[in-house]
């Protein structure tokens, strides 16, 4: 399945990558040639949600122990808002008539990943936004951001998880007016979706818009272009600037504007 998806993406995109050395025209992908990196936080009682969310992750026991048949059996129910923890925003999140979570093509969910590191800038300014000059500097060193790729913004904020105050910049219940964390800037986001035709944006903070945002312009630009987003990622510091492959498969929620995702990276 993965080999087929990656091979298909390479065929469509017409790009070269270290993966092509492993995947032939009809060969399955040999996962032993890759290191797998988990980019997802665990869903549990500590999972962080947007401050105005009235619900949290719930995991309730339905059965646990010896059954009437004499064998062990456990079962649980769970519930969660769509947007919390490591999750994906579908385009419909901020674009009327946009693609829903269940209709996102697999070719948009299994893509090359590029990592832009802004940890130094974010450490100096918790409200830092990725600038066009940052992308220009990145491309001067690594080449143009490939079309269809996932651009992952490394801020280092995942180390603050799950401390609400340190991660969101404010822990006032029900109040999202005083948040502080870094993310994408408007010009950078517009460049990535309009000039580079990226397939996904992702960040290791709570939003692709920076904490103080009130108009969520990055969401409007990105979702308006039919591009999905990943938020609350972790472990991006383990990825190289180029060469990794991202697999981000969200829960297939019919009509969903977003949902939990298990995101991983494959490092050749």
Active site residues: 93
Residues 6+ apart with CB under 8 A from 118: 128, 130, 134, 153, 154, 155, 182
Write down the residue that tokens 């808002």 correspond to: 81
Beta strands at 150-154 and 110-117: parallel, antiparallel or unpaired: parallel
DSSP E strand boundaries for the chain: 35-38, 58-66, 72-79, 87-89, 110-117, 129-130, 150-154, 183-184, 200-203, 228-231, 244-250, 258-267
Write down the residue that tokens 């600037």 correspond to: 241
Residue 10: how many CB atoms within 10 A of its CB?
Answer: 17
């Amino acid at each position: 399945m993965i080999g087929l998806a990656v091979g298909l993406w390479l065929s469509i995109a017409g790009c070269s990558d270290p993966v092509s050395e492993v995947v032939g025209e009809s060969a399955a992908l040999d996962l032993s040639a890759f290191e797998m990196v988990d980019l997802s936080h665990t869903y549990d009682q500590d999972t962080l949600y947007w401050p105005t969310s009235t619900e949290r992750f719930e995991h309730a026991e339905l059965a646990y122990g010896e059954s009437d048949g004499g064998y062990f059996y456990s079962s649980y129910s769970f519930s969660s808002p769509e947007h919390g923890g490591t999750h994906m925003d579908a385009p419909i999140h901020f674009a009327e008539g946009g693609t829903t979570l269940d209709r996102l093509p697999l070719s948009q969910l299994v893509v090359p990943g590029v990592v832009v590191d802004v940890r130094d800038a974010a450490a100096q300014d918790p409200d830092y936004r990725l600038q066009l000059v940052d992308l220009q500097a990145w491309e001067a060193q690594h080449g143009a951001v490939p079309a269809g790729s996932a651009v992952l913004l490394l801020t280092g904020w995942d180390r603050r998880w799950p401390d609400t105050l340190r991660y969101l910049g404010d822990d006032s219940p029900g109040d999202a007016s005083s948040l502080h964390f870094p993310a994408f800037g408007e010009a950078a986001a517009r460049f990535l979706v309009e000039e580079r035709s990226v397939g996904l944006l992702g960040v290791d903070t709570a939003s692709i818009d920076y904490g103080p945002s009130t108009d969520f312009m990055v969401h409007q630009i990105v979702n308006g272009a039919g591009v999905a987003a990943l938020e609350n990622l972790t472990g991006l510091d383990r990825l190289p600037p180029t060469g990794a492959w991202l697999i981000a498969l969200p829960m297939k929620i019919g009509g969903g504007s977003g949902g939990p995702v298990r995101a991983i990276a494959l490092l050749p």
